[in-house]
Amino acid sequence: MRRSAILFVFMLLIINPANARTTQWYTYENGMAAADSMEKPVIIDFYADWCGPCVAMENSTYPDSRVVSEMEDFIAIKVNTQVRIDIERKYNIAYYPTIVFLDRDGSEISRHVGYLGPEDMVKTIRNSRGKLPKEAPGAQASYTILALLILRKRIIG
């Protein structure tokens, strides 16, 4: 009896790992607001329900733990182009799937058109991350010093 209980618990852990992470997907408006408030770059997945490569990415690429890990630095947005034609037009999307990468200011830094398996998706995310503007080392300290100098000038006159 005890042996079968241990086997049952072990099988549950294999089938449904408790610590499995997933990507949090946002709608367009909520995602852009989250990106603005969190000051994070954005990945937008433009898809169509009838698109075979889109479905394949949904089922095999996005759930992959390597992809989930790489996407943690981004706000992930899904746009169903059959419903949100306005956003499809805004980004000039012509083929599916299309993945658009935006920097923290909402400017496009890169895009990929077509299916990506997990390994290629990881490479694409890393490549896009490399194109993001980087803050110079010590920039925060420079901002603090500048604010103190302005404050000093106002106090002293």
Is 51 annotated in the active site? Answer: yes
CA neighbor of 41 nearest in space, from 74, 12, 16, 2: 74
In which residue ranges of the chain is pLDDT below 70? 1-20, 134-157
Residues linked to residue 113 through DSSP beta bridges, in sequence order? 98
Is 47 annotated in the active site? Answer: no
Q: Are the CB atoms for 110 and 44 separated by under 8 Å?
A: no
The whole-angstrom separation of Cα 3 and Cα 66 is 34
Token code pair at residue 137: 């080392």
Q: Are the CB atoms for 48 and 56 separated by under 8 Å?
A: no
Tell me what pLDDT residue 132 has.
Answer: 81
Tell me what pLDDT residue 153 has.
Answer: 59
Given 35, 44, 54, 122, the catalytic residue? 54
Tell me what pLDDT residue 32 has.
Answer: 97
- Domain map (residue ranges) of the chain: 21-156
Measured in Å, how far apart are the chain's first and last C-alpha atoms?
84
Given 35, 43, 44, 51, the catalytic residue? 51
- Domain over 21-156 is classified CATH 3.40.640.10: no
Tell me what pLDDT residue 18 has.
Answer: 45
Tell me what pLDDT residue 144 has.
Answer: 57
Per-residue pLDDT reduced to its tens digit, 52-96: 999 999 999 999 999 999 999 999 999 999 999 999 999 999 999
Neighbouring C-alpha atoms within 13 Å toward the C-beta of 120: 10
- Write down the pTM of the prediction: 0.73
